[in-house]
Amino acid sequence: MTPEAVLQLARERGAKMVDFKFTDVPGSWQHFSVPLHELQEESFVEGFPFDGSSIRGFQAINESDMLILPDPETAFMDPFTAVPTLSLTCNIAHPGPAGQKQPYSRDPRHIAQKAEAYLRSTGIADTSYFGPEAEFYIFDHVRYASTENRQFAEIDSDEAHWGSSRDGTRNMGHLMRVKEGYFPVAPNDTLQDLRTEMVLKLEELGVPVEAQHHEVGAAGQAEIDIRFNTLVKTADNMLLYKYVVKNTARKYGKTVTFMPKPVYGDNGSGMHTHQSLWQDEKPLFYDADGYAGLSQMARYYIGGILMHAPAILAIAAPTTNSYKRLVPGFEAPVNLVFSKGNRSAAVRIPLTDNPKAKRIEFRPPDATANPYLLFSALLMAGLDGIRREIDPGDYGYGPVDKDLYSMSAAELREICSVPGSLTESLKALENDHTFLLEGNVFTTDLLEKYIELKQAQADEVRLRPVPIEFSLYYDA
């Protein structure tokens, strides 16, 4: 879509305001709005100024003048505003002399665009496809506080088994037992219509959806799978996905969280990420004679991801809560091996004989990740594996065609695992990030700021007492 076409769309749809959305370093959408008359064709080149010092991971206050540059290809009418509002996703730039602008090195979307350009420059492939499977919880109520004298969190779901003893409010039964939320019909599944509205809203906004369903978590866990697309487009779609899901739930009087582990004792929420490489519209990961139908290129790509997985986890599982989902001994994708059709391995090869559908699935990520950084890091690790010919079989990464969850402790000691905490992952990223710097895709200043932000979060959690500690130690 051209700038002229965007302005025409705005006029046809009666837009009164224009909303500019962009992404901070942790991966959340930020925005500000202007009246429609402020948006001109030249605005897409000249940009709009904002204060970069107030955005997480961006600039210091003494160098805070920044610009947003709207991308005309991202235009849509925001379905959640009372006043007709045109929405545009933006890149970030530094203003320069004589109108010259420099792309901002810490702009996550710019990093993703550089990753796509780097792929093309290698001659290995011209297109990378990504397909995320994001899970989330839909709650009816949440309360939490962390102050000097109070540490607590309370959630509630009308579907959860703990509501069976409610007194004083209507109780219709048909509640979900722990870990029995996968595919039950109504009346146990109360969220069908809500998920469907989320799906239809996404499709209205140009995000194709493949499926929606209740997930294993009994207290309202859900999954909506969007169609795969190119790296930047899929990352754009993931932020729009979260925006639609959260705001549709709010319209129903409910609240959505993408926290990886909001419920103790039940399933966590991940974002399994499917990936493949193509050249001249032909898939490169398929070989009928290879293990699980994989080409040697695909094996090298897997080798790169598994070798760099500890560092990637700092981006793929970027919260302290992520590591309450990634716990050895439970049904969590912590084992750094690959396997066909095996959901207990960190890399699963979906069973299909269709060359166009041959792909790999990396299972440790969750949806708290910044999708621009996550997809870029996975691509860079995979390309490093191809460039260095890292066959996973040569490094103890499998294939392992057995249920890793049922293996003995002695057997598991022979298999590498993901880091056990955010701090460990950040340390791994500090020690192993050269592969991200290839082609100037990631930059040292972005990685240093990212690690600084995430380590500060880890320290916040480390310094606070939590309620379970009172149960364990108060009477010591």
In CATH, what number is assigned to the domain containing residue 96? 3.10.20.70
How many C-beta neighbours within 10 Å does residue 96 have?
Answer: 10
Q: What's the total number of domains in the chain?
A: 2
Selecting among 109, 110, 214, 272, the annotated active-site residue is 272
- Is residue 343 part of the annotated active site? The answer reads yes
**Domain co-membership, 167 together with 271:** yes
From residue 364, alpha-carbon distances to 102, 270, 323, 431 in Å are 35, 7, 10, 20
From residue 300, alpha-carbon distances to 132, 385, 429 in Å are 21, 5, 21
- Is residue 460 part of the annotated active site? The answer reads no
Residues 6+ apart with CB under 8 A from 39: 6, 7, 10, 18, 70, 86
47, 82, 104 — which closes off a domain?
104
245 in a domain, yes or no?
yes
Rounded CA gap, 223 and 256, in Å?
A: 12
- 298: nearest Cα among 225, 226, 238, 347: 347
Q: Is the peptide bond before 399 cis (omega within 30 degrees of 0)?
A: yes
From residue 154, alpha-carbon distances to 127, 139, 140, 141, 261 in Å are 45, 11, 11, 8, 13
Selecting among 215, 236, 366, 384, the annotated active-site residue is 215
383 in a domain, yes or no?
yes
**Domain co-membership, 56 together with 147:** no
Selecting among 24, 116, 133, 189, the annotated active-site residue is 133
The pLDDT, as a whole number, for residue 170 is 61
Angle among Cα 269, 270, 271 to the nearest 5 degrees reads 140
CA 334 to chain centre: 17
Q: Which amino acid is at 313?
A: L
249 in a domain, yes or no?
yes
Selecting among 135, 158, 159, 225, the annotated active-site residue is 135
**Domain co-membership, 139 together with 99:** no
Boundaries of domain holding 253: 117-473
64, 82, 104 — which closes off a domain?
104
112 in a domain, yes or no?
no
Selecting among 363, 366, 384, 433, the annotated active-site residue is 363
**Domain co-membership, 46 together with 91:** yes
104, 139, 158 — which closes off a domain?
104
- Is residue 438 part of the annotated active site? The answer reads no
**Domain co-membership, 260 together with 402:** yes
Selecting among 158, 266, 361, 366, the annotated active-site residue is 361
**Domain co-membership, 124 together with 201:** yes
258 in a domain, yes or no?
yes
- Is residue 31 part of the annotated active site? The answer reads no
pTM summary value: 0.95
- Is residue 223 part of the annotated active site? The answer reads yes
Are 273 and 135 spatial neighbours (Cβ–Cβ below 8 Å)?
A: no
- Is residue 4 part of the annotated active site? The answer reads no
Selecting among 41, 51, 65, 445, the annotated active-site residue is 51
110 in a domain, yes or no?
no
- Is residue 361 part of the annotated active site? The answer reads yes
Selecting among 107, 140, 158, 223, the annotated active-site residue is 223
Selecting among 31, 161, 213, 343, the annotated active-site residue is 343
- Is residue 203 part of the annotated active site? The answer reads no
200 in a domain, yes or no?
yes
**Domain co-membership, 307 together with 363:** yes
CATH of the domain at 327: 3.30.590.10
**Domain co-membership, 128 together with 95:** no
**Domain co-membership, 98 together with 121:** no
207 CB burial (10 A radius; 0-12, 13-18, 19+): buried
- Ranges under pLDDT 70 in the chain: 98-99, 165, 167-173, 180
- Is residue 469 part of the annotated active site? The answer reads no
352 in a domain, yes or no?
yes
**Domain co-membership, 80 together with 133:** no
Rounded CA gap, 368 and 315, in Å?
A: 9
**Domain co-membership, 331 together with 390:** yes
**Domain co-membership, 238 together with 361:** yes
